[in-house]
Amino acid sequence: MPPKEMHENESPFSRKNVKRLLSYVAGKHKFLLTVVFVSIIVASIVAVLSNVFIKDLVDDYITPLVKKAATSGTASVDYSGLASWIRKVGILFLIGVMVEVLYAQIMMVISNNVLRNVRDDMFRHMEKLPVSFFDTHAHGDVMSYYTNDVDAMKNMVASGIPAIISSVITILANLVGMFVLCWQLTIPVLIGSFLMIAFIGKIGGKSAKYFVRQQESIGALNGYVEEMVNGQKVVKVFTYEERAKKAFDKKNEELCKSSMMANTFGNIMMPLSDSIGRVLYVMVAFIGGFLAIECGLSVVTVGVIASFLQLTRAFIEPVSLLSGQINEINMAMAGANRIFRLLDEKPEEDEGYVTMVRCKKQGEELVEVSPEEALQNAGSKDFVWAWKHPHQDGTLTYTEVLGDVQLFDVDFSYDGKKQVLYDISLHATPGQKIAFVGATGAGKTTITNLINRFYDIADGKIRYDGININKIKKADLRHSLGIVLQDTNLFTGSVMENIRYGNLSATDEECIAAAKLANAHDFISKLPDGYDTVLTSNGTDLSQGQRQLIAIARAAVADPPVMILDEATSSIDTRTEAIVQRGMDSLMEGRTVFVIAHRLSTVKNSEAIMVLENGRIIERGGHEALISEGGKYYQLYTGAFELE
């Protein structure tokens, strides 16, 4: 993501942002928006007519009735005309209320639909983003997109957009009414209104800048809180509470300052615009009286002045309303700006065209079969996974997925500046177990990340069954790789569902068999509901070792030709490790396996051990051979049981 300072200088009201926001509002709601637009026009016309009718009320009814009552007495006064006028205006007001309720309800429906569509688009796009995005963004900040930013956008759609449309139409309708009544009185109102709008535009621009900063600060604060909550045990173990409080206070203070500045500029607009409106109101009364009394303009009657005063108030109110909503509008556009930046993040590129399909062996040839046929013959050895490789001449070749992995002179850098791997070359033949050992930061996990294509190499080649992995579709490549990480992630759902996550088409029997293979079946059977026990909050009711066993079972049910075990037994005690290791041996049988381990006891039986230091392979060979060399591996093995 670009530096924070760049975000703060971006204008949330750019044409691109406004256009994209309106596309969400208008995209699937053209008919409803048409109804809203017509309803707002009707409501605005009703409001203007009600103010214009004051002239008729005063000049055509009240004044004549007062004169007649003064000369002939109240008994002879006929109020039927006034009553008829009141009925007509009452019907007009009723129509106005009905259309206002109608468009308010419609806009609430539209805003909720927009909320749903934006979140859907964000989540779909987020699923396409590379791992590097999540490595460089705090999870709390990412969550802030889905909560604070989207909610701010929703409020804008529900009330801000109708307010803007209504205000513009109301201003135009009142302007027409004022010109019809008395153009002489309209001129000073226009001059005062232009001054008010210029003032609001200037202050609003400053307010918008601080609202962008406020949304950024909210994201940063959420990210920090999420980090501290997840690491609460570590915080307490190392008595980091006071420093954590100070760091939180600093981020909270930044949020407070940006929020105060944003709201300071936003909150001064409405009182000042109201004050300007009152001044204009007094000016209209003074100028109208002057024109009627001193200048003797016959068009300026008492009814005209009374009606014009109401039109002036109605003309100024929308401007004041917008100034009062400027905070909400600025916050919404700042949130939209962040959301659109997320949607503009470059998705993970996949130029691969080699796919993994199910094939049937017919002698020396492989013939592709349908998923249904493959599922019906799931246990048959004649049905295998194969790489489907289309060629430029239109021919297809099928290569059985065996798990032959080769790295040739691989160099890599995460940021393009600091190189972390140098000239990595190795060959893992099908069924071979390769172990990576070395200090933290030596590059062990990075190598497995490159095999998964979580990151792409800077130089060199990686071949899988003789095929450059850049040619293999990422989804198919990763489908052929099973991985067990040190940090276990369990999802809300039953134990069975968490195991089936590795293979969504697996039956209950296959999931149970995978659990038995990982030696997880015994403890799962003792859970309150066995395999139907629902796990929440990443399985906090289970021990770290039990969560790891479920993760191993998840990898086992996937039944991949290549396994990557990244500190897979680091969270298991040595007694449990011995039990799990037997299941792991069964799991690894016949597969190509890459093992990363701090415990050297888990890599002794590897066919090849790669010792890494500062991104280079400095030693390689079997356990006995490396011990006999007396090098780095010998020092690690004889000096300490753990690498760290």
pLDDT, mean of residues 538-553 = 82
Quick one: pLDDT at residue 3? 38
pLDDT at 181 (0 to 100): 74
Q: Do 394 and 253 fall within a single domain?
A: no
| Reported confidence tier of residue 79, pLDDT bands at 50, 70, 90 | low
Residues 34 and 165 grouped into a single domain: yes
Give residue 395's domain range: 355-400
**CATH code at position 251:** 1.20.1560.10
Residue 557 maps to a domain: yes
Over 80: is that where the pLDDT of 480 sits? yes
Residue 542 lies in a domain: yes
Amino acid 194: pLDDT: 76
Statement: residue 637 has pLDDT above 80: no
Interatomic CA distance for residues 210 and 11, integer angstroms: 11
How many beta carbons lie within 10 A of that of residue 361, not counting itself?
15
**Residue-level pLDDT at 411:** 93
pLDDT tens readout for residues 434-443: 999 887 788 8
In a domain, 391, yes or no: yes
Q: How many domains does the chain have?
A: 3
The answer on 309 and 453 residing in a single domain is no
Confidence of residue 73 (pLDDT cuts 50, 70, 90): low
Residue 350 in any domain: the answer is no
Q: Are residues 442 and 307 both part of a single domain?
A: no
Q: Look at residue 548 and tell me if it is in a domain.
A: yes
Residue 348, domain member (yes or no): no
**Are residue 360 and residue 501 in the same domain, yes or no?**
no
pLDDT digits (tens, 9 = 90+) for 611-631: 998 899 998 988 888 888 888
Does residue 394 sit in the same domain as residue 492?
no
**Residues 378-388 pLDDT 10s:** 767 788 889 99
Looking at the structure, do residues 387 and 412 belong to the same domain, yes or no? Answer: no
Using CA atoms, how far residue 251 sits from 142, 255, 613, 633, in Å, is 17, 6, 38, 45
Say if 644 falls within a structural domain: no
* Burial bucket for residue 617 (CB in 10 Å: 0-12, 13-18, 19+): buried
- Mean of pLDDT values over 199-227: 74
**319 lies in the same domain as 384:** no
- Does the pLDDT of residue 640 top 50, yes or no? no
Q: Between 76 and 84, whose confidence is greater? A: 84
41 within a domain of the structure (yes/no): yes
Q: Are 319 and 177 found together in one domain? A: yes
Same domain, 292 and 436: no
For 498-519, how does the pLDDT look when each residue is reduced to its tens digit (9 = 90+)?
999 888 888 899 899 889 888 8
Q: Are strands 562-566 and 592-596 parallel, antiparallel or unpaired?
A: parallel
Across the range 291-299, mean pLDDT stands at: 61
Res 463 pLDDT > 90: yes
The answer on 175 and 126 residing in a single domain is yes
For residue 302, pLDDT over 90 is answered with no
* 218 and 325 part of one domain: yes
Mean pLDDT of 525-552: 84
In DSSP notation, 162-228 reads HHHHHHHHHHHHHHHHHHHH-HHHHHHHHHHHHHHHHHHHHHHHHHHHHHHHHHHHHHHHHHHHHHH
**CA angle, residues 599, 600, 601, in degrees to nearest 5:** 90
Taking alpha carbons only, the member of 362, 427, 373 closest to residue 400 is 362
Q: What is the CATH number of the domain that holds 611?
A: 3.40.50.300
Instruction: Tell me the two tokens of residue 350.
Output: 């996949």
